[in-house]
Amino acid sequence: MNLLGLSWRNIAIKPLSTLLSWILFALGIGLISLMLLFNKQVSGAFESNMAGINLVVGAKGSPLQLILSSIYHIDFPTGNISLKESAFLNKHPLVKKTIPLAMGDSYKEYRIIGTNTDYVDLYKGSLGDGRLWENDFEVTLGANVAKELGLKLGDQFVSAHGFGEAIMEHDEHKFEVVGILAPSNTVLDKLILTNIGSIWASHDDHAEPTATETGHDHDHNHDEAHDHKHEPVAAEDDEREITSLLVFYRNPMGAVQMPRFINDKTDMQAAAPAFEMNRLYEIMGVGEVALRWLAWIIVLVSGLSVFIALYNSLKERRYELAVMRVMGASKLKLFTLVILEGLLIALLGYIFGIAFSHLAMEGLARYMQDSYQYSFTGWLFLKEEIYLLGGALVVGFLAAVLPAIQASSTDISETLAQG
């Protein structure tokens, strides 16, 4: 029997102690791998959806809430802002362009966003079918929306006021699907896009929408919809409201002057996405570091359990090792035999841990898809996991070194005499 087969037989003789070592290894490795997978995909989604946006302008409130609601669409907006008051940003010399957003309605918990086609270009979106919206109450669906709700071109639906479940329904207007976007792995995938005029018209017969209302449906009559053709957001004398503006600077001076001016001199709030997301990372980072240390402690404890298991087994195998020496096995061969046992336990623990982390991430991805409509997967494999394999093998090697030295230095005559 070769050394590898003999090593496997030796660790299989003690299934309970070996299983304990595997479980500890798998738990530690699995936690580290799961954190890597989660952080990689969440940070990737945050970065890709930031899309070069320099500033978000909206109602006073929490800056982070404004960012999460206007860029990532995973929180309620802080309120609405006056179209007239925000119009100066379109002509400001430090501003290259703005993209308006109007929120307040949803369909089966997918948000309906009033904006212009620059929003699709921002994320390099492309059409999978149909066309982009042109008239009031025409909508273009994100890929996930169309897939999950089974909507196709020509279908009509009524909106619900707010972002929760509908409480009341009205039969005034209907939205019509005129296009479906191709998958982009960005926030576009989970949105229903239309023009701002549709959002205004859907509330013309009702109170102005508030940012945090949930409930009350508004049905929209499709025949009446195409009679409404609102001009792009520009008129300074318009008393209507929008939810927020995505602002892009013309030059770096904008970052120095614009946020302070807006926050101090207007009734609006300016929030810088990069700054707010860094704050969020710092908050999340505390818990992440603690979990990572805990995972490595578990890995080290598993290494200790491997050491104890090998050390104890050597006491029972001293006669066997002495016989191997008599039959010609060198000290190096016995040393290698025990080292292989430690490495095998570490390798199997790593395999089980990686399998656990990817299966857990896949389950978590389905939950996050249902809750936030963001696409995540457990079938993403990272180069960091290769480094993790190296770390696991190092722990297994170190755990086996002392027992291996003890095995290689077995006193043949004394052991055989005692046997």
CA distance 177 to 56: 29
Report the sign of the C-alpha dihedral through residues 246, 251, 253, 255, in that order: positive
* Stated pTM of the model: 0.76
DSSP characters over 133-188: --STTEEEE-HHHHHHHT--TT-EE-EEEESS-------EE-EEEEEEEPP-SSGG
Give 187-204 pLDDT, tens digit per residue. 999 999 999 999 998 876
* Local structure of 318: helix, strand or coil: helix
Paired sense of beta strands 156-157 and 175-181, if any? antiparallel
Residue 193: alpha-carbon gap to chain centroid = 23
* Local structure of 403: helix, strand or coil: helix
* pLDDT at res. 416: 62
Give 18-74 pLDDT, tens digit per residue. 888 889 889 999 999 999 998 888 888 888 889 899 999 999 999 999 999 999 998
Q: Which helix (H) or strand (E) holds 247?
A: strand 244-249
At 257, list the tokens. Answer: 């002057």
Give φ, ψ of 241 to 5 degrees.
-125, 155
* pLDDT at res. 171: 55
Measured between its terminal Cα atoms, the distance across the chain in Å is: 23
Q: State the number of CA atoms in the 13 A half-sphere of 174 facing the CB.
A: 11
Contact present, 97 and 80 (Cβ < 8 Å): no
Q: Which helix (H) or strand (E) holds 179?
A: strand 175-181
Give φ, ψ of 240 to 5 degrees.
-75, 175
Radius of gyration of the chain (CA): 31
Residue 154 has a CB neighbour count (10 Å cut-off) of 9
Question: Which amino acid, 111?
Answer: R
Give φ, ψ of 110 to 5 degrees.
-95, 130
DSSP code at position 190 = G
Task: List the chain residues with pLDDT less than 50.
Answer: 167-168, 170, 206-237
Q: What does each C-alpha distance from 364 to 32, 34, 73, 322, 414 come to in angstroms?
A: 15, 10, 19, 52, 58
CA distance 148 to 171: 24
Residue with tokens 């046997």: 419
CA distance 370 to 318: 58
* pLDDT at res. 316: 73
Contact present, 307 and 400 (Cβ < 8 Å): yes
Contact present, 114 and 195 (Cβ < 8 Å): yes
Contact present, 171 and 217 (Cβ < 8 Å): no
